Amino acid sequence: MRTIYICKSLISLSLNNSSHLNKTPISLFSLLFFSSSPKSPNAVADYLIERHKFSTATASKVSSVVKYIKRPEETDSILSFLEESGFSDTHLEHVIKRMPQVLSANLERTIKPKFKFFQDSGFSSSDVVEIVSSHPWILTSSVDNRLGPSILVLKSVLGSNMDVLRVLKRSGTLLRYDLAKSMIPNIEFMKSCGISSSQITRHLCNFPRLFLHKPTSIREYVKRVDLMGFDRKSKRFLQAIRAISSMSRENWELKLELFKSLGFSEDDILSVFRRQPQLFALSERKIMETTQLFLSTGKCDISYVVNNPDLLGYSVESRLKPRLRVLDVLESRNLLLKKQSLATVCRMTDKKFFDKYLLPHSNEVGELFVATTPR
């Protein structure tokens, strides 16, 4: 009865005060809606669906975290502000699902300062939407203590907003760290090892998490790479550090044991690592499957794989098996004038492979012609 009385009083108040009705119709809706059950998850879900047109799935997920909304008029303002800032319905749902706390944030003190900061830093409105929608936790982070210093460090290293945006797309987690204490010392140490600034910048754009390791850890990784006889002047030196950093010592030892079980000697393993260090970041299943496939052809042995380690990185199902089947068919019918280099065949582009091996022999390769036609 008390709820009914409150609702009637609110309606009466709004009808008797036309200025109030004209000024805050959304607030009136919200107050009426939540007065019936202010702590009900169902009320939160219904509010998001009926008032803001969120999907049932999103509303249900949010209401499992947000049990009630204290100030629905403030929530209305937040969602309206995000829409006006360029957020699509998809962006909004993504943000609210990942960061439901945004619904109860303070628009003026918490939300707007983040947008002003990015805009003042030279990012376009679309850039801001992309950054925030990808990493909505940014909306509740401190500009002075975290976002500002991190963006300054990234700009000082990368030089342009475009590159900073590229990095943030790959790993917005960077903004969670004190980059002056992690990234900068790591970069300075890498430079002292002879790694060029251009290499560092390129790796930072493509593999930003590498630079978030503790400086003591990076020094340890470099030491391990040095012990394997890696030339610091090699362009693959930084790739080797990244490969080592991507796995625990236990996983590293498992990789070494796997290579040995496949027939690689210790020298073979070191040779493969120096030529293609990133291969050691592949899964054990991938390494085993690819190696066994090449050995099963009878056309190469372990030494061939050691001398052409990049072959282990190609897709077994979409590249290696189809091409090897085509070669088998053509060789069995004596349609090739000379012995083909397995490495060359595997490395060539889809179009070149199609033009050289499939197009001239479309009748002979039958269904393989269709299966391996480049899209």
* pLDDT score of 38: 36
Residue span of the structural domain in which 370 resides: 315-375
Residues 266 and 306 in one domain: yes
* 3 state SS for 79-110: HHHHHHCCCCHHHHHHHHHHCHHHHHCCHHHH
Residues 336 and 305 in one domain: no
Is 369 a domain residue?
yes
pLDDT above 70 as % of the chain: 86
Of 290, 289, 273, 271, whose CA–CA distance to 281 is shortest?
273
Residues 306 and 339 in one domain: no
Domain final residue, candidates 260, 289, 313: 313
Residues 268 and 278 in one domain: yes
State the chain's mean pLDDT as an integer. Answer: 86
Is 292 a domain residue?
yes
Asked if residues 67 and 76 have their Cβ atoms less than 8 Å apart, the reply is no
CA distance 276 to 247: 16
Is 273 a domain residue?
yes
* pLDDT score of 170: 81
Sequence letter at residue 105: A
| Residue 89: HSE in the Cβ half-sphere, 13 Å Cα cutoff | 8
Give how many domains the chain has, as a whole number: 2
* pLDDT score of 110: 94
* pLDDT score of 40: 62
Is 337 a domain residue?
yes
What is this structure's pTM? 0.74
Domain final residue, candidates 313, 340, 364: 313
* pLDDT score of 39: 52
Is 297 a domain residue?
yes
In this prediction, the residues of the chain whose per-residue pLDDT falls under 50 are 1-38
Sequence letter at residue 276: Q
Is 59 a domain residue?
no
